[in-house]
Structures are given as C-alpha cells and as structure tokens.
C-alpha cells in the first residue's frame, strides 16, 4: 500500500495491490471523508510485491511502479492526470526480487528504481534517464543477506540518499552509503 498525492489535489490518495484479482485499486480522496475508487486491471501476474509512486517521466504526475516477483518484472503505469493510468513499460529484472522502492539516488532530478533481492543477497539500482526509461544495466550492490525490505534516507548528512536494507532472516540491517 502507498499513500501519495496521485491526482495533485493536495489530498492524500491510497494505492493498494490485490494479487488474487490481479488489480491495483486507487482510492482518490474526495476531501469529504469519502474516496472514489479507480481500478487498473493488470496482466496475469502471480505474485505482486510492493508498489511505489514516483514521477518517472518528469511530467509532475505521480506514476505507479510495481514489482512482479513471480515473473521478475517491474511494471510502470504512467499517470495521465485525469485519474487514468496507461501501461508504460515493463522491465525484466534479476532472480528472486522481494522489495521495490523509488527515489532519486544520483541527484539528477529523476526517480530511480531500487530493488531488494532474496537469493542474490543484494540491492540493485536502475537509473532513470529523465524520460521515464531505465536503459542500461542495473547497478548491483551485495548485502550478503536477503534484502526483504529497502528504504532510502540520508544517514550520514552528506546530502545524498543512502540505501538501507533489512535482512530479518539473519537479524541484520545493511547500510549502503551513496557514492554518486
């Protein structure tokens, strides 16, 4: 689940994934304690993992980024600005992905995609080219433990975002300090 300003009306909206019925539900906050539900049907996907929002194509609209861990893909749906989304891209990714988040790691103004992996024991970063595309090879960082949850924050005060990976199976937190 993600809470964000999806339709730019300064009211928080709610995005949920439903793997069993293969859909995304977006609950648009109407501002009067009610929500309007918009559903996006997804292609056949067996196991959806986290959803994130980011302006991937630099149009000032929050797009939806989804991890499909069964087919090892990232699905991107672009926000058209009229409470509608259009499927943009899907990217194949590495084996056994567990978690996805989005943030601008290289400080170029564009949201990048960060993925935590179980069996690969690491985190990958797919850089955004500023047009909503993620060309090139992902940069992979070993965490030496399954990365079940990943979050981003500037932990050392250098004004760059660092990657924090949670590895509950070995009771560790791994911090990858940003060197971009």
Of 55, 51, 60, 56, residue with least CA distance to 26: 51
Structural domain includes residue 21: no
Read off the CATH number of the domain in which 116 is found.
2.115.10.20
Structural domain includes residue 142: yes
* CA 87 – CA 102 distance, rounded (Å): 18
Of 138, 55, 142, residue with least CA distance to 103: 55
Structural domain includes residue 12: no
Write down the pLDDT at residue 121: 87
Structural domain includes residue 9: no
**In which domain, by residue range, is 90 found?**
45-176
Percent of the chain with pLDDT over 90: 62
> How many domains does one find in the chain?
1
Q: Are the C-beta atoms of 119 and 133 separated by less than 8 Å?
A: no
Structural domain includes residue 38: no
pLDDT digit of tens for each residue in the chain (180 aa)?
899 999 999 999 999 988 777 888 999 999 999 999 999 887 766 566 788 999 999 999 999 999 888 788 898 999 999 898 988 888 888 888 989 999 999 999 999 999 999 888 899 999 999 888 998 889 999 998 999 899 999 999 999 999 999 999 899 999 999 987
Write down the pLDDT at residue 11: 96
Write down the pLDDT at residue 45: 61
Write down the pLDDT at residue 44: 64
39-67 as b/e, with b when 16 or more CB fall inside 10 Å?
A: ebebeebeebbbbbbbbbbeeebbbbbbb
Write down the pLDDT at residue 46: 59
Write down the pLDDT at residue 131: 87
* CA 174 – CA 146 distance, rounded (Å): 10
Q: Quick one: tokens of 16? A: 């949920």
Provide the edge-to-edge strand list for the sheet that holds 149-153: 149-153, 162-167, 172-176
Structural domain includes residue 27: no
Q: Which phi-psi region, left, alpha or beta, contains residue 81 (left: φ > 0; alpha: ψ -120 to 50)? A: left
Write down the pLDDT at residue 166: 94
What pTM value is reported for the model? 0.90
Structural domain includes residue 167: yes
Structural domain includes residue 113: yes
* CA 42 – CA 50 distance, rounded (Å): 14
């Amino acid at each position: 689940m993600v809470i964000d300003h999806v339709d730019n009306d300064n009211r928080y909206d709610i995005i949920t994934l439903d793997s069993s019925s293969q859909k995304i539900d977006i609950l648009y906050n109407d501002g009067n304690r009610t929500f309007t539900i918009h559903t996006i049907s997804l292609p056949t996907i067996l196991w959806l993992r986290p959803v994130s929002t980011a302006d991937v194509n630099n149009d000032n609209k929050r797009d939806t980024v989804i991890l499909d861990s069964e087919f090892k893909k990232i699905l991107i749906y672009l926000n058209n600005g009229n409470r509608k989304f259009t499927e943009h891209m899907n990217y194949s990714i590495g084996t056994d992905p567990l978690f996805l988040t989005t943030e601008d790691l290289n400080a170029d103004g564009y949201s990048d995609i960060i993925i935590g992996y179980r069996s690969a024991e690491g985190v990958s970063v797919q850089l955004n080219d500023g047009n909503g595309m993620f060309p090139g090879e992902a940069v992979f960082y070993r965490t030496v433990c399954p990365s079940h949850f990943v979050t981003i924050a500037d932990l050392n005060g250098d004004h760059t975002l660092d990657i924090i990976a949670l590895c509950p199976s070995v009771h560790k937190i791994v911090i990858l300090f940003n060197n971009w």
